[in-house]
Structure 1
Amino acid sequence: MTPSATVGSGRLTERMTALVGEVRAVVDRGLPPELTAYLVGERLAPRLRESDLLTEDQREGDPDRYRQHLVHAEPDGGFSVVALVWLPGQHTPIHDHVAWCVAGVHEGQESETRYRLVSDGRTAHLVETEHVVAPAGSVAAFAPPGDIHVVRNTGTTIAHSIHIYGADISRLGTSVRRTYRLPADGRK
């Protein structure tokens, strides 16, 4: 399932404008990706669950697939902020990312299954390593490699999450580096 996408309206709430400024200050430090993601996650966490973080347009879903709203892309390409809207049952494909990522659950809950790619030299398969249910207020921060996962809304209500990527999503169109169609744990 691929997201439907909308390009940022150029409108940021006051709270989002403050968050963008704090993320910019972290990114401008030029730290390693893992540390950058961790520090950006610390900036995002206190802003989650605040009703004035997103505009009404950035909260709109799509009945057919999860929806991606580009909220902000830094002019120099250093990072992007995306609001994802998930109706119950919507999910990503199994995928990894082009850059570090921070995901914070703003409303509702998301379920994430993480995988490790295992090769015997001739073939490869995915092995499930962890399953996490993230309620509102939860933050996850990671950097490639080793960021293979699938995200789902297994709840009964709409879920909103804020994702901050260390890449220019306005130019790339996605944060996904690769999707995986290999059987998980050798199952088809």
Structure 2
Amino acid sequence: MATSTGTGTESGTGTDSGMRTTERLSALVADVREAVGRGLPPDVTAYLVGEKLAPHLGAADLLTAEQYEGDAERYRQHLLHSEDDGSFSIVGLVWLPGQETPIHDHVSWCVTGVHQGEEHERRYRLVPAGGDGEPARLVATEDVVNPQGSVCGFAPPGDIHRVWNGCRQKAVSLHLYGADIARLGSSVRRVYDLPASDR
């Protein structure tokens, strides 16, 4: 088991490997391990993991003080846990006001839960290039404001989105992935640099 805190972003600027955890985080890890160990399809696994995550959100004893620290330049990634067999990872993201991701999708199923503040999200669908030479593009399908305590999950395909902190206060969210983020450094499969429309 690797449990650590580090810096970086979802697009993979790396993590540090200090061993810091809490009893509540250890309990969450055990709950997620049980859900993932059932070997169910990715979308069902994401649903079960979300159920395990929800009761811990907002609890004062979930994270250490260091795991609330942000970065003035970009949102900060704290690797909280990476399972030895690579089956799942837990990441804490700290967002200062205005910080955001690029439009991206993911390498695996993903569950997000808002621990503090609000997380804003815009979801997209990919329109492939047309046979008449029309280029591929993205179309926004939904704008979501995820308040403290909210949980959402998804599994590829259909997981293209952009996330940001649209509030005046710091936001903290937990992101759980069915992948080894300690090894990969990031949950991002692809960053999309395509024209995007509002539907």
TM-score by length of 1: 0.95
Q: Determine the structure 1 residue equivalent to 2:6.
A: none
Q: Determine the structure 1 residue equivalent to 2:70.
A: 61
Q: Deviations over 1:95-152 (max 9, x none)?
A: 0000000000000001000000012434210000000001100101000000000000
Q: Determine the structure 2 residue equivalent to 1:39.
A: 48
Q: Distance in 2 between matches of 1:147 and 1:171?
A: 22
Q: Determine the structure 2 residue equivalent to 1:124.
A: 136
Is the counterpart of residue 180 in structure 1 residue 192 in structure 2? Answer: yes
CA pair 95-143 structure 1, distance change in 2 beyond 3 A: same
Q: Distance in 2 between matches of 1:172 and 1:156?
A: 32
Q: Determine the structure 2 residue equivalent to 1:159.
A: 171
Q: Which has the higher strand share?
A: 1
Q: Which aligned pairs between 1:8-19 and structure 2 lie closer than 5 A?
A: 8-19=17-28
Are the counterparts in 1 of residues 124 and 140 from structure 2 also a CA contact under 8 Å? yes
2:15 maps to amino acid: T
Q: CA deviation at 1:92?
A: 0.3
1:35 maps to amino acid: V
CA pair 4-90 structure 1, distance change in 2 beyond 3 A: farther
- The RMSD of aligned alpha carbons is 1.6
CA pair 186-150 structure 1, distance change in 2 beyond 3 A: closer
Is the counterpart of residue 168 in structure 1 residue 180 in structure 2? Answer: yes
Q: Deviations over 1:21-44 (max 9, x none)?
A: 000001111000000000000000
Q: Distance in 2 between matches of 1:148 and 1:176?
A: 10
Q: Distance in 1 between matches of 2:147 and 2:34?
A: 28
1:184 maps to amino acid: A
Unaligned runs of 5+ in 1: none
Q: Any idea what SS the aligned residue of 1:174 has?
A: coil
Matched residue count: 187
CA pair 5-89 structure 1, distance change in 2 beyond 3 A: farther
Q: Distance in 2 between matches of 1:61 and 1:4?
A: 14
Are the counterparts in 2 of residues 8 and 71 from structure 1 also a CA contact under 8 Å? no
TM-score by length of 2: 0.90
Q: Any idea what SS the aligned residue of 1:41 has?
A: helix
Q: Distance in 2 between matches of 1:179 and 1:9?
A: 29
The sequence identity of aligned pairs, in percent, is 63
Pick from 155, 160, 182 the counterpart of residue 143 of structure 1.
Answer: 155
Is the counterpart of residue 7 in structure 1 residue 16 in structure 2? Answer: yes
